[in-house]
């Protein structure tokens, strides 16, 4: 009887330890900040969004903030990146450090001459795949107007499968006011690219409702 009981307990233990939950419940968020000359003044708003995200993300989640400049497909453009610890107390410390890095960047940000959004998105996909997060979000804080250096090749399909791409604060340019179709065309082009790459596209312009950014 005792042997049977011991075996039963052992099998339960093996079952629990041997069959772990393989589904990842963590989130990965990669935020791209447009630092081009026309968009630099919006950076304070981006800072508020980052602070909101830092308050929302949970232990075990990954978060990275990178700038969009002339050549964004590079680790050098990552301002801060962190996978938060499983313990809440450590996570809080990491979040403080993250905020400090972002604050430093905002204080001395310089406008870039060109805007390579595609490169930034590719870098984001690479980072998010490495984190192994269950839910992946790419946040693009930009007017979505891509301005590439001569010779850069970016007109190819991008693979953003299982990623939710959210365009934040897509401001209307002066030319958009002359012909609003320009704005819609720009947004639709990005939507097509993202959806063709297996991702989900959403635009959030109302920054009063930040909770909708990571909503499923």
Partner 1 sequence: MSLPEILIIWPGSPVLSLIIEFVIAILLLYLARGPAHKAIYSLSAIIHSGLRLMARSVLLGEKRVVERNKEVLLATGAKAAERLIEREFYRVDAVVKRDMSGYPALQHKLGDQIARIDEDYRESTEVPVPSPDWVKAVDTLAKLPSKGDSWIANILGEIHKTAQAQYKNTMEEYRKAVSVRHSLLEKMMPYWRKLSQTLDQVDKTIIGLHERSKVIDNRMAEYEDIRNQSDKAVRMMTSSAMTQFFISALVLLIAIGGAVINFNLIALPMSEMVGGGSYIGNFKTSNIAALVIILVEVAMGLYLMESLRITHLFPVIGHMDDKMRTRMIWVTFAILLVLAGVESALAFMRDRIAADMQALRHTLATMETAQPVGSWIPTVGQMVMGFILPFALTFVAIPLESFVQSSRTVFGSAVASLLRLIAFALRLLGNVVRYMGEFLVNLYDLLIFPPLWLENLLRNKEQHAEVSDIIVKEEVS
- What does the binding site for partner 1 look like in residue numbers (CB under 8 A)? 21, 23, 25-26, 51-52, 54-55, 58-61, 84, 86-89, 91-92, 95-96, 99
User: Residue 36 CB, nearest distance to partner 1 (Å)?
Assistant: 25
- 197 is written with which tokens? 């790459």
For CA atoms 19, 20, 25, 28, give the dihedral sign: negative
Closest CB to partner 1 among residues 91, 115: 91
Kind of pairing, strands 163-168 and 78-83? Answer: unpaired
Supply the minimum distance, in Å, between the C-beta of residue 121 and partner 1: 26
Closest by alpha carbon to 67, among 109, 38, 25?
109
Closer CB to partner 1, residue 99 or residue 200? 99
Rounded to whole angstroms, how far apart are CA atoms 119 and 72?
Answer: 5
- Which 3 state secondary structure label does DSSP give 9? helix
In 3D, which of 145, 139, 140, 133 has the Cα closest to residue 182? Answer: 145
> Of the two residues 21 and 216, which places its CB atom closer to partner 1 in the complex?
21
Least distance in angstroms from the C-beta of 197 to partner 1: 28
Shortest distance (Å) from residue 83 CB to partner 1: 9
- Closer residue to partner 1 (CB): 132 or 180: 132
């Amino acid at each position: 009887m005792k042997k049977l009981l011991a075996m039963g307990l052992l099998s339960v233990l093996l079952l629990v330890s041997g069959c772990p939950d393989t589904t990842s419940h963590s989130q990965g968020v990669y935020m791209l900040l447009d630092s081009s000359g026309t968009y630099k003044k919006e950076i304070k708003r981006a800072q508020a969004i980052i602070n909101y995200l830092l308050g929302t993300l949970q232990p075990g989640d990954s978060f990275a903030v990178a700038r969009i400049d002339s050549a964004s497909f590079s680790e050098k453009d990552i301002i801060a990146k962190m996978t938060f610890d499983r313990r809440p107390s450590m996570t809080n410390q990491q979040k403080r450090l993250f905020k400090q890095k972002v604050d430093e960047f905002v204080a001395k940000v310089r406008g870039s001459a060109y805007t390579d959004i595609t490169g930034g998105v590719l870098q984001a996909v690479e980072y998010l795949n490495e984190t192994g997060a269950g839910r992946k979000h790419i946040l693009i804080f930009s007017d979505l107007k891509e301005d590439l250096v001569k010779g850069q090749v970016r007109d190819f399909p991008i693979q953003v499968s299982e990623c939710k791409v959210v365009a934040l604060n897509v401001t209307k340019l002066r030319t958009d006011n002359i012909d609003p179709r320009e704005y819609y065309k720009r947004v639709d082009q990005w939507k097509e690219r993202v959806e063709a790459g297996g991702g989900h596209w959403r635009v959030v312009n109302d920054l009063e409702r930040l909770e909708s950014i990571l909503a499923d």
